[in-house]
């Protein structure tokens, strides 16, 4: 009897968790109108804002030059690029200085912090920004030339304080986990983030994010001690009622690459999870006005840990139902989380198809198979990263485990798209 | 204060007027008026509510008045209600072994529907009394027909016509009064169609359509053949940009819920055949191999008889609806109404094709699944014809005489149709409202409840329709009051009857029992070795209570040891 009650309770909890996550994940496709509203409005030709684009670069000499050149191709007429390099990183500094010598719109700021991380670097550059709006990109980003014009238009027409553009991992063919990683980004930026913007609680992304300079200075810049400074900034800004607008256009997204190895993905995910945990513990989200928003915040920031939990419990629960002697009704309940998992899988398959369509990429049957087979494995990876994050946070280890970039998303430099 | 971007002007879709605060600054006219279909909200349209409400009232009165007394009780009703009773009593899915004849969801719903009345008055759990629960189902179905008609862009009067056809046709009145699984299943299917044609084209509405369709199929498995038409409807009503998510979502939802049935069998260890237990596989095999009732149009076949039993009650809805469906399918290219009603017309076409397969089994309730769609396509056909008469080829400066002629022709057509239909339906519905076809059953139940001593020790072979009456009168459910055919077909019952007909005290020979006894040796012998002690009614419809003869030489009490 007690077993039955326990199993039923766990199953129902898991079911609702998965159902909510699914509901949010599918936000953008709820109706054609919602989908249309997630795109950028078409620019009207007027350009009134000036941009300061921050480009923190650490040991990125391989890709930095390409990124800067591409940024300089922007159609917008009024922007500067602030490359932030470390005083202990001569290779990247050389590349940055060369770019600055080539074009007056590029400037170099040197970060002299002893222990370096991305928020400290950006805070170093913040006082040097001359633009009305500060934008953040990563050194390996491929930015669309018309993005700034669209962002300019979005700021002016919506009166936003923050505009978050889409970021998309592209190299889905590199490995089984990069496939899933790409799709995760797709669902996050294409869909889920819009829901957060609408609900008034949003963890911002790490790049292609634009904040009015005054607002950013008001907020005191980024939190130098937080491992997910982007998420933290979003939470702090939306918690005090700043207006955030999200827009996603497949030809306007910033293209990135997945971490090159499974281990670096694990490290990256550990860092994010730990960052989410830190943001949760900072309690800025408690200033949100409504209970629903606070619940959404609580749930979102705890997601990695719920994920870890459910990844372990779902199979266990089903096994219990099959092998232990429980009433048929209770056994039925244990299948509910599997039902939502199945629905999620199906939507992921359709999402992969849509992703291929939107980016003109050929998705073969093998990729769909990999997506399905890789699902449970990826879940294990996520669970591992979540557990690792809790453990590190408990031990007080919050140093920055950096992700290395090889340029797999770029068309020319280094190709990694051989069949994995 | 955050929000998503307003709709991009490049797309044809326009964001509905959600509570997104507009910036005061640039007066950009970006947000155009939403298309009409998005603004159509039946809930807030007074004429729609009034028309639908009035029709609902009429339908409920016509279907509800005299519901217990007409039509004659059917043994299928008794079967489902008895199983619903078993569910309520916590005796599992049936009081005899559940053998996967149908998925159990149908009578689980009947159990829920009758839960409150049977709790208030346990003795009311009999077929006649509980037919009133079906009013909930047919009322909901009628409203859904109206909503679906409107969502398929029928004009108000045509949607109302469809609802009236569906709820007031004498054929529909007779069939929808009965406790048939098909009635519940068709309600679910109508809900699925309504959700599939949702004007907001919401992903989760389509998902819900899949769930409702699955509920329909799990209520009565024959609804499976309607699903392709549902898919077509959903395809037509979804938007290109979100279609793949909406449709795969719906199919997934339907499939996953549908799989719960085999899963249920698997969890009970009854998925595949094996010795000593029933199985889903056997149940399906049985249903698929039921002896055919012949070709529908061959006058000697059983199917032909079934067809004529429908046409006896009403020709307008089945034949007119069929003609309407053909008209709509043929004029698809030219008529907007025809395109809008593709889904219902396809349902009619598919169901007709299935009924026409030679050698198939055609049960009397088969037509129930088609009724709402017949009504909709007939109403759609009427709308299409009316539109052709009134509007086709009409120009702004048309002569008044010609316009007057158009309206006169429309009026003549309407009057002619009314003159044909109204008298026939009046007769049919009056019969339904006034005839008492079940008096013999009630009398038989009363007799068995009062004239037999120690009912708890007696064993009676009885038609399913009267079984619950006997249970309420004190007979033991299952082995005391026995569904007559179980005495030959259910090993769990026959093993308690080692001496065959001699172990039976009474046979309640209703028309059904007499008809089926031909193939049931034990029942046949019990009838032969018995004499009537009470007869109610006359002729073919009489109900005889027959006492099995050698009562004297029987080993005294039958009860205890069995």
- Say whether B10 and A238 touch across the interface (CB within 8 A): no
For residue A138, which of A416, A420, A405, A410 has the smallest C-alpha distance?
A405
What is the C-alpha separation between A105 and A73, in angstroms, rounded? Answer: 11
Neighbours of A283 (CB within 10 A): 11
Domain ranges of chain B: 44-65+132-433, 439-548
For residue A352, which of A379, A372, A338 has the smallest C-alpha distance?
A372
- Say whether B2 and A29 touch across the interface (CB within 8 A): no
What is the C-alpha separation between B269 and A64, in angstroms, rounded? Answer: 63
The position carrying tokens 């007559």 is B484
Smallest CA–CA distance, residue A26 to chain B, in Å, is 8
- Say whether A331 and B267 touch across the interface (CB within 8 A): yes
What is the C-alpha separation between A179 and A356, in angstroms, rounded? Answer: 11
What per-residue confidence (pLDDT) applies to B360?
78
Q: What residue of B is the nearest CA neighbor of A331?
A: B267
- Say whether B7 and A33 touch across the interface (CB within 8 A): yes
Neighbours of A123 (CB within 10 A): 19
**Beta-sheet pairing, A79-86 with A106-111:** parallel
* B chain contacts of residue A37, beta-carbon cutoff 8 Å: 4-8, 15
Per-residue confidence in pLDDT tens, chain B, 562 aa = 444 444 333 333 433 333 333 333 333 333 333 344 444 567 778 899 999 999 999 999 999 999 999 899 998 999 999 999 999 988 888 888 888 888 999 999 999 999 898 888 888 889 989 999 999 999 999 999 999 999 999 999 999 999 999 999 999 999 999 999 999 999 999 999 999 999 989 999 999 999 999 999 999 999 999 999 999 999 999 999 999 999 999 999 999 999 989 988 888 888 888 888 888 998 888 888 887 788 888 888 888 889 999 999 999 999 999 999 998 888 888 888 888 999 999 999 999 999 988 877 888 899 999 999 999 999 999 999 999 898 887 888 788 888 899 999 999 999 999 999 999 999 999 999 999 999 999 999 999 999 998 999 999 999 999 999 999 999 999 889 999 999 998 888 899 999 988 999 999 999 999 999 999 999 999 999 999 999 999 888 899 999 997 645 444 444 333 3
* A chain contacts of residue B25, beta-carbon cutoff 8 Å: 156, 159
Interface of B with A in 264-283 (CB under 8 A): 264, 267-268
Q: What residue of A is the nearest CA neighbor of B203?
A: A30
What per-residue confidence (pLDDT) applies to A346?
93
- Mapped onto helix, strand or coil, the DSSP state of residue B469 is helix
- Say whether B203 and A200 touch across the interface (CB within 8 A): no
* B chain contacts of residue A346, beta-carbon cutoff 8 Å: 248-249, 252
Q: Are A242 and A161 in contact (CB under 8 A)?
A: yes
- Say whether A42 and B9 touch across the interface (CB within 8 A): yes
Smallest CA–CA distance, residue B503 to chain A, in Å, is 36
Q: Which of B242, B252, B253 sits opposite A32 (nearest CB)?
A: B242
User: b/e per residue, A328-358, with b = 16+ CB within 10 A?
Assistant: eebbbbbbbbbbbbebbebbbbbbbbbbbeb
What is the C-alpha separation between A21 and A12, in angstroms, rounded? Answer: 14
Residue count of chain B: 562
What is the C-alpha separation between B133 and A111, in angstroms, rounded? Answer: 78
Smallest CA–CA distance, residue B117 to chain A, in Å, is 25
Q: Are A389 and A274 in contact (CB under 8 A)?
A: yes
ipTM of the complex: 0.85
Which tokens in the block code for residue B141?
Answer: 């179905």
- Say whether B268 and A36 touch across the interface (CB within 8 A): no
Smallest CA–CA distance, residue B449 to chain A, in Å, is 37
Instruction: Categorise residue B8: left if φ over 0, alpha if ψ from -120 to 50, beta otherwise.
Output: beta
- Say whether A33 and B16 touch across the interface (CB within 8 A): yes
Interface of B with A in 226-245 (CB under 8 A): 239-242, 244-245
Interface of A with B in 214-243 (CB under 8 A): 238, 241-243
* B chain contacts of residue A347, beta-carbon cutoff 8 Å: 245, 248-249
- Say whether A342 and B256 touch across the interface (CB within 8 A): yes
**Which helix (H) or strand (E) segment is A32 a member of?**
helix A32-37
- Say whether B244 and A353 touch across the interface (CB within 8 A): yes
- Say whether B2 and A245 touch across the interface (CB within 8 A): yes
**DSSP 8-state class, residue A56:** E
Residue count of chain A: 420
Reported for B287-294, long-range contacts at CB under 8 A and 24+ positions apart, including other chains, are: B287/B101, B287/B221, B290/B361, B291/B361, B292/B358, B292/B359, B292/B360, B292/B361, B293/B360, B293/B361, B293/B362, B294/B358, B294/B359
- Say whether B25 and A156 touch across the interface (CB within 8 A): yes
Interface of A with B in 51-80 (CB under 8 A): none
Q: What is the number of helices (H) and of strands (E) in chain B?
A: 26, 5
Interface of A with B in 343-372 (CB under 8 A): 343, 346-347, 349-350, 353-354
Q: What residue of A is the nearest CA neighbor of B3?
A: A198
* B chain contacts of residue A39, beta-carbon cutoff 8 Å: 5, 8, 10-11
Q: Which of A32, A158, A242 to probe by mutation at the B interface, max B CB count within 10 Å?
A: A32
Which tokens in the block code for residue A221?
Answer: 């810049």
Q: Are B334 and B392 in contact (CB under 8 A)?
A: no
Confirm or reject contact between B16 and chain A (CB < 8 A): yes
**DSSP 8-state class, residue B315:** S
- Say whether A39 and B8 touch across the interface (CB within 8 A): yes
Confirm or reject contact between B249 and chain A (CB < 8 A): yes
What residues in chain A have per-residue pLDDT under 50?
Answer: 411-420
For residue B87, which of B62, B70, B107 has the smallest C-alpha distance?
B107
Confirm or reject contact between B201 and chain A (CB < 8 A): yes
Interface of A with B in 26-45 (CB under 8 A): 26, 29-42
Q: Is the peptide bond before B435 cis (omega within 30 degrees of 0)?
A: no
- Beta strands across the sheet bearing B543-548: B481-483, B460-462, B506-509, B543-548, B530-536
* B chain contacts of residue A26, beta-carbon cutoff 8 Å: 203, 245
The position carrying tokens 């996603």 is A248
Interface of A with B in 147-186 (CB under 8 A): 154, 156-159
Taking the model in full, what pTM does it have?
0.87
Smallest CA–CA distance, residue A134 to chain B, in Å, is 19
Q: Which residues, at least 6 apart from A304, have a Cβ–Cβ distance to it below 8 Å?
A: A269, A272, A273, A276, A277, A382, A385, A386, A389
Confirm or reject contact between B287 and chain A (CB < 8 A): no
Q: What is the 3-state secondary structure (H, E, C) of B369-434?
A: HCHHHHHHHHHHHHHHHHHHHHHCCCCCCCCHHHHHHHHHHHHHHHHHHHHHHHHHHHHHHHHHHH
Q: What is the 3-state secondary structure (H, E, C) of B65-81?
A: CCCCCCCCCCHHHHHHH
* A chain contacts of residue B202, beta-carbon cutoff 8 Å: 30-31
What per-residue confidence (pLDDT) applies to B377?
95
- Say whether A33 and B1 touch across the interface (CB within 8 A): no
What is the C-alpha separation between A188 and A271, in angstroms, rounded? Answer: 18
- Say whether A37 and B204 touch across the interface (CB within 8 A): no
- Say whether A30 and B30 touch across the interface (CB within 8 A): no
The position carrying tokens 């061959």 is B298
What single string gives the DSSP state of each residue in B154-165?
--HHHHHHHHHH
- Say whether B26 and A156 touch across the interface (CB within 8 A): yes
Q: Which of A199, A238, A350 sits opposite B248 (nearest CB)?
A: A350
Alpha carbon A143 to its chain centroid, in Å, reads: 16
Smallest CA–CA distance, residue A142 to chain B, in Å, is 23
The position carrying tokens 């999200």 is A246
What is the C-alpha separation between B303 and B362, in angstroms, rounded? Answer: 6
- Say whether B5 and A247 touch across the interface (CB within 8 A): yes
**DSSP 8-state class, residue A228:** T
What are the beta bridge partners of residue A53?
A: A81, A135
């Amino acid at each position: 009897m007690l077993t039955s009650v326990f199993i039923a309770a766990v199953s129902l909890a898991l079911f609702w968790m998965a159902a909510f996550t699914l509901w949010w994940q599918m936000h953008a496709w709820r109706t054609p109108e919602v989908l249309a509203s997630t795109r950028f409005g078409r620019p009207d030709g007027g350009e009134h804002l000036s941009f300061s684009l921050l480009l923190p670069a650490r040991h990125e000499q391989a890709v930095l030059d390409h990124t800067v050149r591409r940024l300089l191709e922007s159609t917008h007429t009024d922007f500067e690029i602030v490359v932030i390099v470390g005083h202990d990183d001569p290779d990247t500094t050389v590349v940055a200085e060369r770019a600055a010598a080539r074009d007056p719109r590029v400037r170099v700021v040197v970060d002299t912090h002893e222990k370096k991380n991305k928020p400290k670097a950006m805070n170093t550059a913040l006082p040097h920004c001359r633009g009305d709006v500060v934008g953040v990109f990563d050194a390996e980003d491929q930015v669309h030339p018309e993005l700034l014009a669209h962002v300019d238009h979005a700021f002016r027409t919506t009166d936003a304080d923050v505009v978050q553009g889409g970021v998309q991992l592209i190299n889905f063919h590199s490995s089984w986990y990069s496939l899933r990683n790409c799709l995760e980004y797709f669902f996050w930026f294409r869909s889920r983030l819009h829901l957060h913007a609408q609900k008034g609680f949003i963890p911002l992304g790490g790049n292609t994010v634009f904040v009015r300079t005054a607002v950013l200075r008001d907020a005191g810049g980024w939190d130098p001690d937080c491992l997910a400074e982007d998420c933290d900034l979003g939470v702090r800004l939306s918690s005090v009622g700043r207006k955030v607008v999200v827009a996603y256009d497949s030809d306007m997204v910033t293209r990135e690459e997945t971490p090159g190895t499974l281990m670096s993905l694990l490290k990256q995910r550990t860092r994010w999870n730990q960052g989410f945990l830190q943001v949760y513990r900072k309690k800025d989200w408690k200033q949100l006005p409504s209970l629903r928003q606070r619940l959404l915040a609580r749930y979102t920031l705890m997601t990695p840990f719920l994920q870890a939990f459910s990844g372990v419990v779902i199979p266990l629960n089903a096994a219990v139902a099959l092998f232990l002697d429980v009433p048929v009704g209770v056994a039925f309940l244990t299948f509910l989380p599997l039902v939502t998992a199945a629905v999620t899988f199906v939507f992921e398959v359709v999402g992969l198809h849509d992703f291929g369509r939107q980016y003109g990429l050929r998705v073969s049957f093998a990729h769909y198979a990999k997506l399905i087979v890789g699902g449970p494995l990826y879940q294990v990876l996520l669970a591992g990263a979540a557990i690792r994050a809790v453990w590190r946070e408990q031990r007080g280890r919050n140093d920055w485990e950096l992700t290395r970039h090889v340029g797999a998303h770029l068309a020319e430099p280094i190709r990694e798209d051989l069949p994995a | 204060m955050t929000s998503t971007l307003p709709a991009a002007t490049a797309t044809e879709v326009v964001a509905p007027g959600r509570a997104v605060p507009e910036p005061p600054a640039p007066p950009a006219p970006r947000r155009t008026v939403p298309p009409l279909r998005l603004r159509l909200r039946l809930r807030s349209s007074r004429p729609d509510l009034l028309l639908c409400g009035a029709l609902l009232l009429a339908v409920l009165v016509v279907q509800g008045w005299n519901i217990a007394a007409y039509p004659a009780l059917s043994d299928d009703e008794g079967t489902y209600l008895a199983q619903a009773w078993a569910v309520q009593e916590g005796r599992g899915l049936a009081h005899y072994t559940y053998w996967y004849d149908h998925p159990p969801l149908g009578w689980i719903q009947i159990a829920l529907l009758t839960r409150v009345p049977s709790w208030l008055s346990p003795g009311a759990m009999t077929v006649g009394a509980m037919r009133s629960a079906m009013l909930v189902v047919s009322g909901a179905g009628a409203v859904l027909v109206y909503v679906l008609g409107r969502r398929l862009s029928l004009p108000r009067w045509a949607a109302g016509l469809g609802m009236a056809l569906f709820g007031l046709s004498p054929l529909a009145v007779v069939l929808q009064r009965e406790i048939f699984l098909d009635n519940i299943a068709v309600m679910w299917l109508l809900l699925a169609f309504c959700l599939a044609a949702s004007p907001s084209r919401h992903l989760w509405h389509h998902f819900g359509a899949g769930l409702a369709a699955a509920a329909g199929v799990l209520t009565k498995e024959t609804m499976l053949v309607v699903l392709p038409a549902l898919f077509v409807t959903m395809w037509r009503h979804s938007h290109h940009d979100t279609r793949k998510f909406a449709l795969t979502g719906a199919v997934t939802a339907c499939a996953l819920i549908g799989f719960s049935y085999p899963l249920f069998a698997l969890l009970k260890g009854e998925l595949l055949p094996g010795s000593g237990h029933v199985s889903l596989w056997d149940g399906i095999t049985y249903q698929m191999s039921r002896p055919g009732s012949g070709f529908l149009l061959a006058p000697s076949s059983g199917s032909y008889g079934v067809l004529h039993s429908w046409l006896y009650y009403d020709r307008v809805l089945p034949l007119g609806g069929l003609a309407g469906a053909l008209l709509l399918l043929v004029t698809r290219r030219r008529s907007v109404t025809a395109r809008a009603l593709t889904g219902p017309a396809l349902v009619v076409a598919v169901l007709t094709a299935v009924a026409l397969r030679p050698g198939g089994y055609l049960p009397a309730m088969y037509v129930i699944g088609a009724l709402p769609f017949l009504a909709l396509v007939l109403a759609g056909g009427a709308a299409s014809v009316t539109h052709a008469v009134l509007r086709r080829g009409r120009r702004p400066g048309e002569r008044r005489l010609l316009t007057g002629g158009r309206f006169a022709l429309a009026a003549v057509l309407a009057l002619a149709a009314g003159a044909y239909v109204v008298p026939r339906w009046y007769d049919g519905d009056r019969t339904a409202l006034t005839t008492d076809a079940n008096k013999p059953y009630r009398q038989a139940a009363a007799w068995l409840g009062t004239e037999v001593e120690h009912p708890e020790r007696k064993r009676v072979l009885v038609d399913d329709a009267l079984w619950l009456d006997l249970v309420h009168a004190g007979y033991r459910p299952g082995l005391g009051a026995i569904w007559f055919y179980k005495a030959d077909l259910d090993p769990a019952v026959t093993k308690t009857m080692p001496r065959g007909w001699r172990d039976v005290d009474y046979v309640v020979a209703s028309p059904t029992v007499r008809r089926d006894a031909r193939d049931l040796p034990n029942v046949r012998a019990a009838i032969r070795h018995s004499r009537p002690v009470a007869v109610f009614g006359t002729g073919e419809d009489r109900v005889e209570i027959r006492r099995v003869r050698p009562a004297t030489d029987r080993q005294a009490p039958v009860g205890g040891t069995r």
